[in-house]
Amino acid sequence: MFSKLQIAELRSPKIVQPILLNLSGVDHQTLYNLDELNAHVSTHSKLWSFILLLDLNDQFSDVDMDYLKRHHRVLAIFICVKPNSNIRFDGANVFPVYKELISYRIKLCAIRFFEDCSKAFLASNEIHAGLALKVRANFLKQQRFTSQQIQACHVLIIPLNTTDSNTYDYQQRLLESCYRLCGEYEPSVCTIHDYLPSYINSDFYKSEDANILCNYVTGICPIRIYLVGNEICIPDSMCKYAFEHELHNTNRFQDHDTYRIVKNEPISASVQLDLRKILNIGEQLVNVIIQEYHDIENDIEFATALEHSNSNLRGREKSTNMKLQESVASSSESPFEFSAAFRIIKQAQDGAKNHDDDDAGDRDINTEIQC
């Protein structure tokens, strides 16, 4: 019999905000010291396979994880590190990773687990169990992670005609660049899907709240990086909408509110030839510049905007909170009350509406933010 999957997180009790994974359907346990984690894995290994998440720092670089590294039920050990950290760990199943990338890396590991188990069940002619696990793997592939709360970031990446893997590779590179540019503060680099769900299989343009949601993500972060790649179209209509909204925003350089178009990988000649058509760039931006990923560190305007982004981080959260509440109150048929984290406190007395998950245009705005 195959075990189930569990994420076991080792976290200091002093850390107020845990790492939010939002990995639907996967058990997530939190433990507070290494001995407790070792005991947990030992006593539950007949029922579970484990993905371990360790939030350590440089002073624990010599911690003894030999038992966990050797355990046959431990699929992977992810260690949360900062880009400028010198912490190093040995082990084929040990992976230091930046906190903004943890959800993505753990999701890939979980998908691989369900796919491997599905293949094993199907090979042993246990069709029902095999297909059920395949469905779970496919669900995770389509799932986007969100923080479930409004937390402003320093830089926001919005992918255009590119792949997920290229997006997250660039996110890691940009984090490293921002750390080299920053002084005493820790920069945060997020993607648009840390705030809103994907619109790959639906039309964002048909959403009645499209403009509200677009203003929400642009308000939460004044520095937006649009990432181009080698796909022949922009698969996510929300990202396309956001980009076209930028092109019509004549005040985009006011108060250090700015965007850049960047490429992380070489663009093929055929895509380069059609890029203006793919991006739907109008004649008014005929001289638009697409930067190389490494040019950002030598961009004086970017460095200045980064400092400004840090100085008003909490103010943007408060301002976005207020504007979003006003927009929801004026546009929604059934008003919602939001907490500071934008979670629903209660709905109107007529109760919740039923929404078809396949019709993104009919979702309520709170679902769009928290999905």
Fold of 4-142: Rossmann fold (3.40.50)
pLDDT at position 262 is 93
Angle between helices 313-331 and 300-311 (to 10 degrees): 70
Whether 162 and 228 have beta carbons less than 8 Å apart is answered as yes
- pLDDT given for residue 288 in this prediction: 63
Q: What is the dihedral of CA 316, 321, 325, 328, to 10 degrees?
A: 70
Residue found by looking up tokens 């040019």 in the block: 295
In terms of phi and psi (left: phi > 0; alpha: psi -120 to 50; beta: otherwise), the region of 280 is left
Give CATH 3.40.50 domain extents, the chain. Answer: 4-142
How does pLDDT run along the chain (371 residues), one tens digit per residue?
A: 467 999 999 887 776 566 767 677 788 898 888 889 999 999 999 889 999 988 765 445 566 788 999 999 999 999 888 777 766 777 888 888 887 788 888 888 999 999 999 999 999 999 999 999 999 888 887 765 544 456 788 999 999 999 989 999 999 999 999 988 887 788 889 899 888 878 888 899 998 888 888 888 888 888 999 999 999 999 999 999 999 888 655 445 455 678 889 999 999 999 988 888 898 876 555 456 788 988 888 888 888 888 889 988 888 888 877 777 676 666 544 333 322 233 222 222 233 333 334 444 445 555 555 44
Tokens 């195959």, located at residue: 2
**Which pLDDT belongs to residue 351?**
34
Look at the chain and count its residues.
371
**334 in Cβ contact with 363 (< 8 Å):** no
